[in-house]
Amino acid sequence: MQKPNLSFGQMWNLSFGFFGVQIAYALQSANISRIFATLGADPHTLSFFWVLPPLMGMIVQPIVGSMSDKTWCKWGRRKPYLYVGALVAVIVMALLPNSGSFDMTVKAALAFGAIMLMLLDTSINMAMQPFKMMVGDMVNDEQKTEAYSIQSLLCNAGSLVGYLFPYIFTWLGVKSVAPEGQIPDTVTWSFYIGAAILILCVLYTGATVKEWNPEDYAKFNGIKREENEPKKNLLQLLVCAPKAFWQIGLVQFFCWFAFLYMWTYTTGGIAENVWGTIVPGSAEYQAAGDWTGVLFAVQAIGSILWAMVLPRFKSAKVAYSLSLLLGAVGFISTYYIVDQYMLFVSFLLIGCAWAAMLAMPFAMLTSSLSGNAMGSYLGLFNCTICLPQIVASLVGGLILGVVGGDVIDGVQTGQISMLVVAGVSLILGAAAVFGISTKRE
């Protein structure tokens, strides 16, 4: 039986909580390197802290997907995991920016921050995945593109807000410089307000969305009731995954490898290139940190604008590949730019790649999946996002040592070179797009 058409408002409610979750994710993405550099982390080991978020994503999202496929209770199927993830995220968002304020040693503060980061990303992943699953569960094929477009819009809008928060607080007069080893108030208050918005948005979706019961789910997804709970474990499902799963996964590897370096090295790179400093505790470095949030917001704007263009392409592969090439140009151009406003052009182009990364993989993959084990497969697919970030994190220090400049006072210069590496990775991803099979198995 065909799934019923949903109104725009119903599809909006399905994904509205994603707005709050994405604010939390944006705050993490734009400020983690700044936080750990301020606490005293060495640039060579900075990428190691970024191992934790994707590692937790690889563990948590397949488990959440598999468990939620089997969960049927009065609170819903996916929503219980949404509530738990959001609650833990709010608590951790209140603790993480205070990592340097508990009179701990540098090593202890870094260890505490690392634990908080691990918990934050675990909870964000737990809260994020149910939104993707609910769209897959409840939206028919004709409206799926529109539903994921709404989710992409809310995702980028949340990113925009999260990225701009520290800059806005600085503009309002909140202190952007703190005593050595402590996180500036602009960052701390950004996390506090982000946490409040997160919980409100999640509660809104929880109150306005009613998930189907097991009988309706089986009826609308064309599966027998006894097949509603998958009998295969995650490893068996992975072995039976369609070819598109692996082909898109290869493209994902190059894409997320690139963006991990953007999140890790943009602040240090532009601090040196534009502000002429490599000292994390300086006012100039903190100004670069605020500007990183602005640049990431520009990237989100570019993503929103390019997302309107993508449906006009006749070939999905051409749209996907071109988007990644534009992002590569954006990354490589940052190496040559020393004006903070000219960087807007670079990050608008990077936004083109981000728009394609949010829309194309899920649109291609979900068309090859049935309603049975939808959550499990989407959870497993998240590993194609997490694994490249782990690899990039582990080799980041080695690559920086090769492409970077001299080490001055224990700080590696030339961090902007890592964005060139990101650009090269996107070029490889653009080439891999044409290996994706669009035929349904």
105 class by beta-carbon count within 10 Å (0-12 exposed, 13-18 middle, 19+ buried) = exposed
pLDDT band at residue 253, thresholds of 50, 70 and 90?
very high
The mean pLDDT of the chain is 85
The tens digit of pLDDT for each residue in 257-286 reads: 999 999 889 999 999 999 998 888 788 988
Residue predicted with more confidence, 43 or 177: 177
Q: What is the pLDDT of residues 374-388, one digit of tens each?
A: 677 777 888 888 899
Phi-psi region of 373 (alpha: psi -120 to 50; beta: other; left: phi over 0): left
Inside any domain, residue 3: no
Residue 19 falls within a domain, yes or no?
Answer: yes
Q: Is residue 2 part of a domain?
A: no
Within-domain flag for 440:
no
Residues 323-372 pLDDT 10s: 999 999 999 999 999 999 999 999 999 999 998 898 788 777 776 666 56
Residue 411 is predicted with a pLDDT of: 67
* 346 belongs to a structural domain: yes
- Give CA separation, 321 vs 313, 348, 351, 352, 435, in Å: 11, 17, 14, 11, 11
151/430: higher pLDDT: 430
Determine what percent of the chain falls in helix, strand and coil, rounding each to the nearest 5: 75, 0, 20
pLDDT in tens, 400-419: 989 987 777 666 678 999 99
DSSP for 6-24, please give it. --HHHHHHHHHHHHHHHHH
The conformational region for residue 370 under phi > 0 = left, psi -120 to 50 = alpha, else beta, is beta
Domain encompassing residue 179: 8-435
pLDDT higher at 274 or 67:
274
List the one residue out of 146, 97, 96 whose CA is nearest residue 118.
96
Check residues 17 and 102 and name the one with the higher pLDDT.
17
* Span between the terminal Cα atoms of the chain, in Å: 21
CATH number of the domain at 73, please. 1.20.1250.20
Please tell me the distance from the alpha carbon of residue 35 to that of residue 320, in angstroms, as a whole number.
Answer: 34
Q: What is the pLDDT of residues 163-193, one digit of tens each?
A: 889 889 989 999 888 777 788 899 999 999 9
Residue 279: inside a domain: yes
The structural domain count of the chain equals 1
Q: What is the pTM of this model?
A: 0.76
How far is C-alpha 143 from the geometric centre of its chain's CA atoms? 24
d(CA 381, CA 252): 10
Calpha distance 189→233 (Å, rounded)? 43
The torsion angle over the Cα atoms of residues 164, 21, 104 and 277, rounded to 10 degrees, is -30
Residue with tokens 């994904």: 15
Buried residues in 423-439 as b, exposed as e (16+ CB within 10 A): bebbbbbbebbeebeee
Evaluated on CA atoms 396, 34, 15, 328, the torsion sign reads negative
Tokens at residue 281, please?
Answer: 């505790």
Q: What pLDDT is attached to residue 235? A: 79
How many other C-beta atoms can be found within 10 angstroms of the C-beta atom of residue 132? 24
- Decide which of 421 and 441 is more confident: 421
Residue 420 has pLDDT above 90, yes or no: yes
Helix, coil or strand: residue 15: helix
Q: What is the DSSP letter of 182?
A: S
Query: What does the alpha-carbon distance between residue 435 and residue 252 come to, in Å, rounded to a whole number?
Result: 13
Confidence class of residue 228 from pLDDT cuts 50, 70 and 90? Answer: very low
pLDDT in tens, 108-153: 888 888 888 888 888 888 888 788 788 877 888 778 767 877 888 8
Contact 28, 53 (CB under 8 A): yes
Neighbours of 130 (CB within 10 A): 30
pLDDT band at 304 (very low <50, low <70, confident <90, very high): confident
Give the DSSP letter of residue 311: G
- Whether 138 is in a domain gets the answer yes
Q: Averaged over 240-268, what is the pLDDT?
A: 91
pLDDT at 226: 47
Residues pairing with 76 in the sheet: 73
Let me know if residue 295 belongs to a domain: yes
